[in-house]
Structure 1
Amino acid sequence: MNAISDIQVGRGLTRSLAEQARTLRLEDIPESVRSWARQCVLDYLGCGLAGASDELVTILLAEMNEQGGREAATVLGHAERLPVASAAMVNGAASHALDFDDVNLAMPGHPSVAILPALLALAEERGSSGADVLTAFVAGYELQCRIGRTIAPGHYDGLGFHATATVGSFGAAAACAHLLRLDTETFATALGIAGTQAAGLKSMFGTMCKPLHAGKASYHGLMAAKLASRGFTSRTDVVECGQGFARTHSPDFNPDRAFDPPPNGWWIVNNLFKYHASCYMTHAAIEAARKLREQHGVAPDRVQRITLRLEESSDRICNIPTPRTGLEAKFSLRLTTAMGLAGVDTSRLSTYSEEVAADPVLVGLRDKVELDFRAGISTTFSEIDLLLTDGARFTAAHDSGVPAVDVAQQGRRLEAKFAALADPVLGTDCAAQLVADIGRLDALPDVRGIVKLCAK
């Protein structure tokens, strides 16, 4: 166990994180960082609108409607309105249903989908400004990544917790606590309430429970902040205390890592957006396979063997060998590699279906993929060695863990992704209005206009 630094002993890790998040102001956030935050909001809403018709959302929405309550918040892509916590859960699950939402390796997990459903539902209820929402989002995002780093890698890689669900609960609580302007003591209490609810297992990947994790993280965080604001009690040292979150959820607790300076100054500028609608750990293999296809024009019937070299933890994340459903296909390294090599459009939502999973050409390629798991390489790096029937060999590699350098170009790419996801749900004009409004989020006096545009 690493020693806790003097500053953390004096103030407490949880309280230090709460104070750091609570005191963040819009003027503290550079415009370049605000751009990343706005892009996260746009991507979250696009994924949620496209995921709104998923079967798991239909089930959740039916249950939440049956439970009833005050109709205070919008449900993405639906006419119904729900109580804020119920809307947060449904919208969180919808935005993660397609596994197309953003990633940060500091957690490691999906940061925006845990925070924004709760934050926007609360902001809609309160009539909060865009500036307040953006600031609260960044505050929750940074705290979430800092907590994730204190328990890495054992929390996710070793014990099998889904950090989007567990660490994400803290991010949602922090963002909502910031929006509610809680003092440090009450803010830390909210983190305690979130921490005791945090749960989610990687063993559920490929089932409806994985998207549910995101919805529950958002729900738990929102409820934690609201309960704390009413005087509900909890420990204010939940992260670091004996039998607290970190010590029960990781063999690698290192509190000092919470205060390591992020690359480029902010964790949010290390956000990774997804352009393939599958588990992020499959993206490097897809890109490497696409390179081979583009460079060498390899026909599937010429392939004798495909060797995929990658980091060993992927074996526990996205190694469903013979997927039968579209959801399972998103977590199959073999099948997604075959898709990349065969030229299948892995950004299209319709690609992930039972029909595609059973396609004989793809199945033939899938079964030629051999996985070579190795320790000590980046979790986002993959290398493919391709052996053809005539004895020719080709190799390609890709690392999907490198954040964008050209943020403006990234923005254009995300706007195109958003249009593809949102236009079929809202129509072209409404979707274009959302893009414009989110582009000036900081200046909006009330975010309810944005949220209501997302109702069908």
Structure 2
Amino acid sequence: MSQNDPDLSRASPPGLTHVLVERALGVSFDALPEDVRRIGRDCLVDWLACSFAAIDEPASRIAAEIAREEGGHPHATVLGHTWRTSMIQAALVNGTTSHALDYDDVNLTVPGHMSAAIIPALFALAEHRQASAAGFIAALVAGHEFACSVGKLVEPAHYANGFHATATIGALGASVACAHLLGLSQVQACHALGVAATQAAGLKVMFGSMAKPLHAGLAAQAGLRAALLAQKGFISRTDVLECEQGFASVHGSDFHQREALSTPANGFHIRNLLFKFHAACYSTHSTIEAVAALRQQHAIDVDAVKQIDVVAGEGCSICNIQSPKTGLEAKFSLRACAAFALLGIDTSDLEAWNRVTEAAVSAVLDRVKVELVPGMTLSDSVVTIRSKDGDEWTLAYDCGMPIADKAAQSARLFAKFRALATPALGAQRTAQLLAVLDGFLPDGRVAQLAEHCRIRCD
């Protein structure tokens, strides 16, 4: 452990785990600011959009097939299918599906995809328990805030050591969110957290494979299972974050207790949520934006380009696949993303990523050089385009700032939903579902929403 907080004892009561859990359980829908409620609803809209677009992805299809073969009490909806299954199975399938395209929201505080880990667990539980929209949103915010506090506690060492925070911290966030929805006591919720923590796993080395979206499904499943067990009286350690050989010490060398206990400058971690409008790893987005901006500002001809230099943070090794051969690998390749942007390929188009092996893309990709350096964040990029005639254009870009206008953000996400869901659902069903989502707060019911998500003949 680092000695960042030598004057704060992990063993002194009340322990860190209890304090953070108490805060999360205290989240009330009535006390949430209007913009935070809206962001919570936007998370749900984005999560559903990404899920419907991915129901035919191999990872999604395989996970659904296994769940259907195993069977279970029909308690929860499997998105995009007419059949239902157990809450645990639905959480696994829906979580995997929602992250299959890597198009879902991200919070760099963790850093990871907390909606893909938390919402599948909550959605299944809320549907079965007939929960209200207000209860769902409050639980989602509680889980998200808790997860981000854990991120502040253990990062950057946790992520640098190779753990995928969506899988690990996501499981913790899901357990606390479900504990909130179930109305568990503080002690019960701490037990649930301990059960989730002992299941939490996921390796960044799996990026670019089907195992990465599975991480989100496993996190949702682990968190939901942990909360259900705790409700029945299952016990674990209640100090799992701070205890010796607990979550923090095993998963990294950082223990930033002050940061974990601090309140974000803008009041809520969820206000820092970043929604994707490029269907790729978020750490590629600044490179895409910078290359596209330079191309447009200077009317750069592709054939006139000699070299593209991309400088990004050393943490962006997660998206530095040098020679991507598939669309999935291209989403984790700064070189491919720079090539796509220079060619003007629409990176919001899900089908576009399969063009990575085209001759035109390969020709540009060979001219892209990536340098990863310390001191830059996961959202920073500096791009320099050099022409064969000696011209040179440079632009620094940081995509780590959330959209300030939340109404405009909602409008963009509803448009994203329409674009992603229509091919899977058809225009009429998409419009119906958008209307339900538009009126979801404050008096909607998750079970009603789930009925609109069972739309496919199997």
The match for 1:203 among 202, 205, 212 is: 205
CA distance in 1, matches of 2:134, 2:297: 46
* Partner in structure 1 of residue 388 of structure 2: 389
Post-superposition CA distance 1:199-220 (Å, at most 9, x none): 0000000000000000000000
Q: What SS is found at the alignment partner of 1:268?
A: helix
Q: What SS is found at the alignment partner of 1:310?
A: strand
Q: What SS is found at the alignment partner of 2:319?
A: coil
What TM-score do you get using the length of structure 2 for normalisation?
A: 0.96
CA distance in 2, matches of 1:430, 1:448: 17
Post-superposition CA distance 1:346-384 (Å, at most 9, x none): 00000121xx11111111111111112221123211111
Q: What does 1:117-128 align with in structure 2 at a 5 Å threshold? A: 117-128=120-131
The match for 2:303 among 293, 301, 304 is: 301
Q: Which runs of 5+ in 2 are unaligned?
A: none
The match for 1:72 among 70, 75, 78 is: 75
Q: What does 1:101-112 align with in structure 2 at a 5 Å threshold? A: 101-112=104-115
Q: Is the 8 A contact 1:195 1:238 kept in 2?
A: yes
CA distance in 2, matches of 1:425, 1:413: 19
Q: Tell me which moved more, 108-117 or 291-300.
A: 291-300
* Partner in structure 1 of residue 185 of structure 2: 183
Post-superposition CA distance 1:102-160 (Å, at most 9, x none): 0001110011111000001001111111111011110001001001110010100x201
Q: What SS is found at the alignment partner of 1:233?
A: coil
* Partner in structure 2 of residue 25 of structure 1: 28
Q: What SS is found at the alignment partner of 1:331?
A: coil
Q: Is the 8 A contact 1:300 1:361 kept in 2?
A: no
CA distance in 2, matches of 1:203, 1:446: 39
Post-superposition CA distance 1:81-119 (Å, at most 9, x none): 111110001000100000000000111001111100000
What TM-score do you get using the length of structure 1 for normalisation?
A: 0.97
Count of paired positions: 452
CA distance in 1, matches of 2:316, 2:393: 23
Paired residue type of 1:277? A
Deviation of 1:6 after TM superposition, in Å, equals 6.8
Identity %: 46
Do structure 1's residue 42 and structure 2's residue 41 form an aligned pair?
no
Paired residue type of 1:69? G
Post-superposition CA distance 1:176-225 (Å, at most 9, x none): 00010000100100000000000000000000000000000000000000
Deviation of 1:432 after TM superposition, in Å, equals 2.4
CA distance in 2, matches of 1:279, 1:68: 34
Deviation of 1:4 after TM superposition, in Å, equals 6.0
Do structure 1's residue 56 and structure 2's residue 55 form an aligned pair?
no
Deviation of 1:27 after TM superposition, in Å, equals 1.6
Q: What does 1:135-154 align with in structure 2 at a 5 Å threshold? A: 135-154=138-157
Deviation of 1:8 after TM superposition, in Å, equals 7.7
CA distance in 2, matches of 1:263, 1:314: 26
Q: What SS is found at the alignment partner of 2:258?
A: helix
CA distance in 1, matches of 2:444, 2:8: 42
The match for 2:264 among 254, 262, 265 is: 262
Deviation of 1:411 after TM superposition, in Å, equals 1.1
Deviation of 1:242 after TM superposition, in Å, equals 0.4
Q: Which runs of 5+ in 1 are unaligned?
A: none
* Partner in structure 2 of residue 423 of structure 1: 422
Paired residue type of 1:30? P
* Partner in structure 2 of residue 348 of structure 1: 349
* Partner in structure 1 of residue 439 of structure 2: 440
